[in-house]
Structure 1
């Protein structure tokens, strides 16, 4: 039975039994409407009508995946509202309502749908005009006149609000059918058509205001004026098609490093959705979706361009011949991406330690040794070492699998072959589990998505929700929400569109950094303290951060990925999944980070022995190997990673400046 429920949830794209029950009520209600209308049964129809309304609205909030599935089956929200309306009119006809009531109802409800269509067209026109060629953050754009975004009650979720204006007409007609007096029907009709007309008139006023939106050339010219005042020398350039799935961690991990550089930085993004996940920064950020608009930006002073990811749109920046282009990646790992032959297009490749250099050298014709620079990993400063870690009464195991990759060739995730047995084995060993899947888990593979859901259910079922833990978590929730709201505000994140983002853009003051860090520290402190009695955690949001999960864990279980290389900084025990059951020597030879790892077989039979290294720290035969591996993978502790990274930027910027000077003098020689 539980397996059947899980399969139904997977097919219907709902997360649990409550949502599944809502789907059943929703389907039963809609199936009952025509039957009860034709019988006719007024009270039965009213009950089914109310169920469909309430279930529909609740599913939008709790099971958006199911609602999207309905839309693909041509059962959109508008269609569902139309079905309810037609069934209600059929009920009225079957109960011998006067022709005047029926004809007026048909006319009013048809006019309501026409007004919804007109409102949608007007909303689309306003939204299209408010899409700008460039969106910025941390530049002062007050010099350009951009109209305020329409008020939220008119603009956001407008279709939901407009369609629900049929409620007065529906309710009035039902009351009229029940009482036999028809004034209620006419009153409901008047309220529906009047409210929809007022809303349309109000949005028309907003359309007049948006007609004075500045054009493309004016916007780009103002952005260029602000860039000229900032005079950026280093650009971090990022593009990724899946950015809406929080791929911005690849940028966010570099923000603090950029802010500490000697050279003035700028961040260049290519997808509008990037702002949704951008962390707080005082670095100017410019988002330019189109390549021809990017070409219009004045980035002539940029000497060094840093690329945290390989993407097709990188070519739009690589064509700038005057700058030096560097692939910095988003973490060193043994995946193909960390030694890709595409890296030949960059002037230099910056890696954490000698392991990264050797990795590129193993790939024939990848890149010359002179172009590889070891700069360490400046991001790892928050990771506490094993010497600072105080174990709790129960071992804490962090399971952080990678995702399934773009193809089966680079599929390193353990979720599909052994994720569920691993969690079942850990649960049998009486440990606390922190489960933090990759943000893209399940994007390409339905099997990975199913394994992810099963793991979450297993952890929920095993969760020990004692009264004390629940009470503590409830008391802390309000403060956590308050802190998150303040962090979102400080990061410049809001629900506005392109134009509003540009209108609100200002140069940040220098006083927010300390408050930002204090709030993040407080959030993590409250979060972990309020869950001290909680057995397991499923981490899906940006907070708590991956490195804070590192600090909580006694042991990491992960796949071949940069997560493992970063965890090496802690010198704590870690486990690599060997889903193919390769011989240990072969696996360690293939993957550098396996050198200090415990290797877990597909059947997880080694798990009890591996956990002994946590329960009995003196029985940890891999400890010495981890110490050796740390310097090989991440580089030496001195000079610091930040010092080495900053020096590499300065050196390359100086070389870029010198080469430009030579190019200018060459025609005069």
Structure 2
């Protein structure tokens, strides 16, 4: 318990990382001791330990490194401590005064040039920050300078600090051999390389001064938008930007690409831009509200919102367009029937269940504002009748996260996640564990349960023969990396800062769609084949996709969330976690998706009987309920969801256009 508490305080997770932290502390504590004794070789060993362990911790435990910085023990301070202790050692070893003075001057100059370099680097970076970034528009007319070389631009402080190594090594060699020339050679190398770096970044600053002005950038982007004339906009903003949230946009891309009207995607946070999936649709990322108002979007008649966020008001003010909340999944959570949705002109839901859910929020949403459009994203999900079972039943456990507060906490991880996995392992099934991307972000208990489940699956994989499986995974890894690199290239993901991405922006070749689909299919095939039919899998990245996990599974166990509503499209058996042990009738009355579900109690005693649905040769008793529920939750199969969604967009665009043409005559009257 003491070790676990210490790991929590120091922001480390593994015992190995804790040992590294303690080794770093011991190394720094030994530096003044060996400097004052004096002990040259003890000092050399302590210095080497602090250098090496420091670098390892930056890679393995960045949270601990950030904790040190918060305590004013950042990397610069740690390097300064080593330098001061080195000078103290040289003095105690009675180094010549000339060497000591030269060393003090060199180290002082080195730190001064680091400050100068950092100031110029910040100036270059500020000049290269643009008011907007685009993708899939031709920005070749803008004279944007190339990004500075990575050697000068990326992780500059880390590289500059390590330039003190020649001076340190030279002074230590001089102390060991008595040769002053070793010290002077190290001093010269340190000062020479630092000066060269400072001159290099200064040259990059001169280039950065030629960046186009803000008005030039907007003029060029607006010319491209005016030529394209977007009619439908997908608008997305979220406070905690990361790849964890971009699924809310990525799930709609293929749907937007099939619309009759011309789409555009508008993002508000630069951090989310790099996680956008492949698309030929023009994308504009505009962080500031004032800049958003300057975009040429006069032809936009429909704006689609996959999420409720404060920055939505910056787009909602556009009176010429109709504003629609489309969400990012239908579920029985409170967020899927939020009263805030009243600000939109219409709310589009998958099926009748969504309409009824909003009607339960009394005096909030008008029934006429709700439109049933289906879920066009669900076409990749294979039906139960087309599924081929493997040698072991495959259970997908996909719990939701702990929510922003305890009021909307539906996760089963905390109260029953670990016992559930233990029960499933005792039943000899293959488990695919796919936690929500935000699991553990708010709750330490959820994070602990997640780690415990991963450890249980790892241990059981070892029991099943992990060595052979790991060999297959290792053999497949190079091909998966190769495919992923090509997917990133096709997605248009450019490395570099805002200016570099704007400089590289071009109208894409739509012919890449076929290659994109083929590569994604191959990636999934190679991934699952390398994992084999017996071993458990923890899915924590964007690939394999959630829907591909659906296709692998014989059954889903999940919480109240949109994952369940999407899984209903497969008509496969699924179980909902009843973590509060509500009476079955009460639970089914509270949650629509429970209508076709097996209900799993908190103690998980029903696991064997639930698994009989995928093991027994007898008909599945919940199958008729699932077929009825599918129509209720997702709408009819004909016309298709894509046809209904496209028709809804067209109808609302016509309505917006009609109101626009009518408004001038009303004003005249």
- TM-score category by the smaller chain? over 0.9
Among candidates 23, 28, 31, match of residue 30 of structure 1? 28
Give the C-alpha shift of residue 367 in structure 1. 0.9
Tell me the residue number matched to 2:662.
662
Among candidates 256, 259, 262, match of residue 260 of structure 2? 262
Tell me the residue number matched to 2:293.
295
Matching of residue 230 in structure 1 with residue 228 in structure 2: yes
After TM superposition, the structure 1 = structure 2 runs for residues 38-437 of structure 1, keeping only pairs within 5 Å, are 38-437=36-435
Task: Specify whether residues 621 and 264 from structure 1 end up closer, same or farther in structure 2 by C-alpha distance, changes over 3 A only.
Answer: same
Tell me the residue number matched to 1:624.
624
Structure 1 contact 176–184 (Cα < 8 Å) conserved: yes
Tell me the residue number matched to 1:538.
538
Distance 1:546 1:558 in 2: 13
Return 122-131 or 180-189, whichever deviates more.
180-189
- CA offsets 1:362-395 (integer angstroms, 9 cap, x no match): 1101211111111000000111111111111122
Aligned-residue RMSD, C-alpha? 1.5
Task: Specify whether residues 617 and 229 from structure 1 end up closer, same or farther in structure 2 by C-alpha distance, changes over 3 A only.
Answer: farther
Give the C-alpha shift of residue 351 in structure 1. 0.3
Give the C-alpha shift of residue 8 in structure 1. 4.3
Structure 1 contact 29–52 (Cα < 8 Å) conserved: yes
Give the C-alpha shift of residue 508 in structure 1. 0.4
Structure 1 contact 288–294 (Cα < 8 Å) conserved: yes
Tell me the residue number matched to 2:647.
647
Structure 1 contact 239–309 (Cα < 8 Å) conserved: yes
Counterpart secondary structure, 1:207: helix
Structure 2 contact 396–433 (Cα < 8 Å) conserved: yes
Matching of residue 614 in structure 1 with residue 594 in structure 2: no
Structure 1 contact 138–285 (Cα < 8 Å) conserved: yes
Return 338-347 or 444-453, whichever deviates more.
444-453
Tell me the residue number matched to 2:490.
490
Task: Specify whether residues 49 and 152 from structure 1 end up closer, same or farther in structure 2 by C-alpha distance, changes over 3 A only.
Answer: same
Task: Specify whether residues 463 and 52 from structure 1 end up closer, same or farther in structure 2 by C-alpha distance, changes over 3 A only.
Answer: farther
- CA offsets 1:555-611 (integer angstroms, 9 cap, x no match): 212111111111111111112111111111111111111111122222222222222
Task: Specify whether residues 284 and 87 from structure 1 end up closer, same or farther in structure 2 by C-alpha distance, changes over 3 A only.
Answer: same
Task: Specify whether residues 337 and 665 from structure 1 end up closer, same or farther in structure 2 by C-alpha distance, changes over 3 A only.
Answer: same
Counterpart secondary structure, 2:493: coil
Give the C-alpha shift of residue 18 in structure 1. 3.3
Tell me the residue number matched to 2:454.
456
Structure 2 contact 494–504 (Cα < 8 Å) conserved: no
Return 236-245 or 338-347, whichever deviates more.
236-245
Distance 1:526 1:632 in 2: 36
Give the C-alpha shift of residue 667 in structure 1. 4.0
Give the C-alpha shift of residue 7 in structure 1. 4.6
Consecutive unaligned residues in structure 1, runs of 5 or more: none
Return 238-247 or 510-519, whichever deviates more.
238-247
Counterpart secondary structure, 1:296: coil
Structure 1 contact 239–270 (Cα < 8 Å) conserved: yes
Task: Specify whether residues 271 and 603 from structure 1 end up closer, same or farther in structure 2 by C-alpha distance, changes over 3 A only.
Answer: same
Counterpart secondary structure, 1:577: strand
- CA offsets 1:269-289 (integer angstroms, 9 cap, x no match): 000011221001000000110
Give the C-alpha shift of residue 539 in structure 1. 1.5
Structure 2 contact 392–533 (Cα < 8 Å) conserved: no
Structure 2 contact 391–533 (Cα < 8 Å) conserved: no
User: How many residue pairs are counted as aligned between the two chains?
Assistant: 667
Give the C-alpha shift of residue 6 in structure 1. 4.8
- CA offsets 1:377-414 (integer angstroms, 9 cap, x no match): 00001111111111111222222111111111111112
Consecutive unaligned residues in structure 2, runs of 5 or more: none
Tell me the residue number matched to 2:477.
477
Distance 1:472 1:384 in 2: 27
Task: Specify whether residues 90 and 548 from structure 1 end up closer, same or farther in structure 2 by C-alpha distance, changes over 3 A only.
Answer: same
Give the C-alpha shift of residue 310 in structure 1. 0.2
Structure 2 contact 391–534 (Cα < 8 Å) conserved: no
Give the C-alpha shift of residue 624 in structure 1. 1.8
Structure 2 contact 145–208 (Cα < 8 Å) conserved: yes
Return 604-613 or 368-377, whichever deviates more.
604-613
Give the C-alpha shift of residue 617 in structure 1. 5.1
Distance 2:34 2:534 in 1: 48
Counterpart secondary structure, 1:557: strand
Give the C-alpha shift of residue 26 in structure 1. 2.0
Tell me the residue number matched to 2:547.
547
Structure 1 contact 122–204 (Cα < 8 Å) conserved: yes
